[in-house]
Amino acid sequence: MNEIAVSARNVTRIYGSGDSVVRAISDVSLEVARGEWIGVKGRSGSGKTTLLNCLSGLDRPTSGEIVCFGRDIARLSESQMTEWRRNQVSFIFQSFALMPTLSAFENVDLPMRIAGMPKRRERVVECLEMVGMEKWADHRPYEMSGGQQQRVALARALANRPSLLIADEPTGELDTNTSKEILALLRRIVIAENVTVLMSSHDPLALESTDRVVELRDGRTVGSDGR
């Protein structure tokens, strides 16, 4: 657990200008080891999504430094950033965000198809098996429960073998038992794939499942429990 996956130093993200300035995150410093699962908690508007977006290269900090798997991502050009994200980062969301017209198989295949990967079929099957959804390969999202959709979303996120998995409120729309299943699955995946996970959540159950929780208050870190 010693290799540093993500290192953020004094990261600040300011939106807007003049009277409408919002300091979404202020002076956040954080180090995450490879294979570590970090929870980010805090009230609505405390900056959780902004932090995840900056650390994963979806957004750029206004100031500060972010080194992610050896790359100084805040300084990459737009195209380098897109390329870097495509190779290193995957996302899962509260709302699952599967393509409604595609089957589970096609949803999992999509990011690899976009990346032009050869021999994708085996990896799609492997990922669906990892999340226990191989029998649902030909089904569309509307035929599945929320928990099943999140499993497929997780399979899709793993397909490209990301180094970093960003999970923004992944259990936000799931009941307690389904949340537990998804969290146990995430833990197995963290171990099996050695993926680093940054997860925002309001859900105590989800936060308890992580290795460590970072709390944000008004965009600043107020504690890291080292669990």
Ligand X SMILES: Nc1ncnc2c1ncn2[C@@H]1O[C@H](COP(=O)(O)OP(=O)(O)OP(=O)(O)O)[C@@H](O)[C@H]1O
Query: For binding to ligand X (CB under 6 A), which residues are involved?
Result: 15-16, 22, 24, 42, 44-50
Decide which of ligand X, Mg ion, none touches 45; Cβ closer than 5 to 8 Å per partner kind.
ligand X
* Secondary structure (DSSP) of 85-122: HHHHEEEEETT----TTS-HHHHHHHHHHHTT-SS-HH
Decide which of Mg ion, ligand X, none touches 70; Cβ closer than 5 to 8 Å per partner kind.
none
Binds Mg ion (CB under 5 A): choice among 49, 160, 201, 221: 49
The nearer residue to ligand X, 16 or 204, going by C-beta atoms, is: 16
Task: Report which secondary-structure segment, H or E, holds 50.
Answer: helix 48-55
Decide which of ligand X, Mg ion, none touches 175; Cβ closer than 5 to 8 Å per partner kind.
none
The nearer residue to Mg ion, 49 or 160, going by C-beta atoms, is: 49
Q: Residues 211, 186: contact at Cβ < 8 Å? A: no
Q: Does 171 bind Mg ion (CB under 5 A)?
A: no
Query: What is the SS3 assignment for 176-198?
Result: HHHHHHHHHHHHHHHHHHCCEEE
Q: Does 53 bind Mg ion (CB under 5 A)?
A: no
Query: CA end-to-end span of the chain, whole Å?
Result: 14
What is the closest distance, in whole angstroms, from the C-beta atom of residue 132 to ligand X in the complex?
29
What is the closest distance, in whole angstroms, from the C-beta atom of residue 130 to ligand X in the complex?
28
What is the closest distance, in whole angstroms, from the C-beta atom of residue 6 to ligand X in the complex?
17
How far is 215 from 69, CA to CA, in rounded Å? 23
Size of the site for Mg ion (CB under 5 A): 2
What is the closest distance, in whole angstroms, from the C-beta atom of residue 215 to ligand X in the complex?
11
What is the closest distance, in whole angstroms, from the C-beta atom of residue 44 to ligand X in the complex?
3
Catalog residues that contact Mg ion under the rule CB under 5 A: 48-49
